[in-house]
Amino acid sequence: MIIEESILSKEVAAVANALASTAQTATPALEIRDLCKTFGKFTAVDHLSLTVRQGEIFGLLGPNGSGKTTTINMISGLSTPSSGEIRVLGYDVRRQVRQIRQLLGAVPQETALYEELSAWANLDFHADLFGIPRKEKKERIENVLKLVQLLDRKHSRVGTFSGGMKRRLALGRALLHEPQLIYLDEPTLGVDVQARRAIWDYTLSLREQGKTVLITTNYLEEAQALCDRLAIIDHGKLVALDTPQQLKQLYGAQVVELEIAGTGHPAEQIRALPGVKDVAVETVQDGYRLKIITEGVNNLVPEMINLVSHNGALRDITMRDPNLDEIFLRLTGLSLRD
């Protein structure tokens, strides 16, 4: 009996190891290697490499002009790389773009719906474009409309829909042909709080179904709420890639906020302290608020309080971890882009 249990344990361990090995070696949902895209002398994407695993929600962040849209266009087969390699679930974007388009569902910023047609007619047209069999089409359309909570408006003209309803219908359209990789470009841009929450819930449910989701967003709160990992790109280059929490630990710093009553503040003196990275000044009623980004606050706080005491009365002090917005600005800079 002991021998049988020992053999069984070894068999179970072998199966577990095999499954773990398979998970680790599974074909990536998206693999980008040394990708470049140039327009004349301008380099839009500069030797970009990253891998998106199957079944994760992956965020691609960057300021305007960072190369996000150009990268997405190359992944979708809408633009040809100048050099480098892109594979979607193992398919080469240069040679197998037709297969990739069957595996990819996209929700662009502009929903591009036919507003004179009904919700059902929009989905019916899309189903025909993707060659969905007639015997499956009706059931798929109904299931998608249920998912995005628009079944009761299936015969309504899309032009009568709110912005949130249009975004939900566009998401449903992208899911109709059952893609494995879904790309969402600013998925909650211009929608209200309830619609944003609904779209977040749909996105998280896609991961539960084993789908892979690639998101571009300028809402850092959204990236933190949804994404398993984030890549931040700037000037076409990858500047950071990790989980939201790890990015905070790797690139973040402690933030100290001091509220001062009075007509003066010691911002310049605090800025000169070793370990202080930046000081922002905000005017408040009868005083100032200083937001101080530091490498470590424990030894600096007493010195800050001492400097404040020579300029006014300290009304409040707060210490916290940085948020993603602050990490993003630190990595990409403050200057505006067009």
Q: For the chain, 338 residues long, give each residue's pLDDT as a single digit of tens.
A: 444 434 434 444 444 444 444 444 589 999 999 999 999 999 999 999 999 999 999 999 998 889 999 999 999 888 999 999 999 999 999 999 889 988 999 888 887 899 999 999 999 999 999 889 999 999 999 999 998 889 999 999 999 999 889 989 998 999 899 999 999 988 888 788 888 888 898 899 999 989 999 999 888 889 989 999 999 999 999 999 999 888 877 776 678 888 888 878 888 888 888 888 888 888 888 888 888 888 755 678 888 888 888 777 888 888 877 778 878 887 887 655 55
pTM: 0.76
Q: Are residues 208 and 241 in the same domain?
A: yes
Q: Are residues 40 and 98 in the same domain?
A: yes
- Take residue 291 and report the two structure tokens written for it: 């937001």
Residue 104 belongs to domain spanning: 30-249
Flag whether 23 is in a domain. Answer: no
Flag whether 330 is in a domain. Answer: no
Flag whether 336 is in a domain. Answer: no
CATH number at residue 101: 3.40.50.300
Flag whether 20 is in a domain. Answer: no
CATH number at residue 279: 3.30.70.1340
Q: Are residues 289 and 154 in the same domain?
A: no
- Take residue 315 and report the two structure tokens written for it: 């009304």
- Take residue 159 and report the two structure tokens written for it: 């032009």
Q: Are residues 96 and 158 in the same domain?
A: yes
Q: What's the chain's Rg over C-alpha atoms?
A: 25
Q: Are residues 60 and 169 in the same domain?
A: yes
Q: Name the 3-class secondary structure at 338.
A: coil
Q: Are residues 203 and 221 in the same domain?
A: yes
pLDDT at position 236, please? 94
Q: Are residues 242 and 257 in the same domain?
A: no
Flag whether 11 is in a domain. Answer: no
Q: What is the DSSP string of 76-112?
A: TTSS--SEEEEEETTEETTT-HHHHHHHEEEE-SS--
pLDDT at position 329, please? 80
pLDDT at position 298, please? 60
Q: How far is CA 213 from each of CA 24, 87, 101, 216, rounded to the nearest angstrom?
A: 19, 15, 15, 10
Q: Are residues 176 and 135 in the same domain?
A: yes
Domain-ending residue, one of 206, 222, 249? 249
Domain count, the chain: 2
Flag whether 19 is in a domain. Answer: no
Q: Are residues 219 and 282 in the same domain?
A: no
Flag whether 136 is in a domain. Answer: yes
Contact 253, 322 (CB under 8 A): yes
Q: Are residues 79 and 186 in the same domain?
A: yes
Q: Are residues 141 and 274 in the same domain?
A: no
Q: Are residues 128 and 209 in the same domain?
A: yes
Flag whether 37 is in a domain. Answer: yes
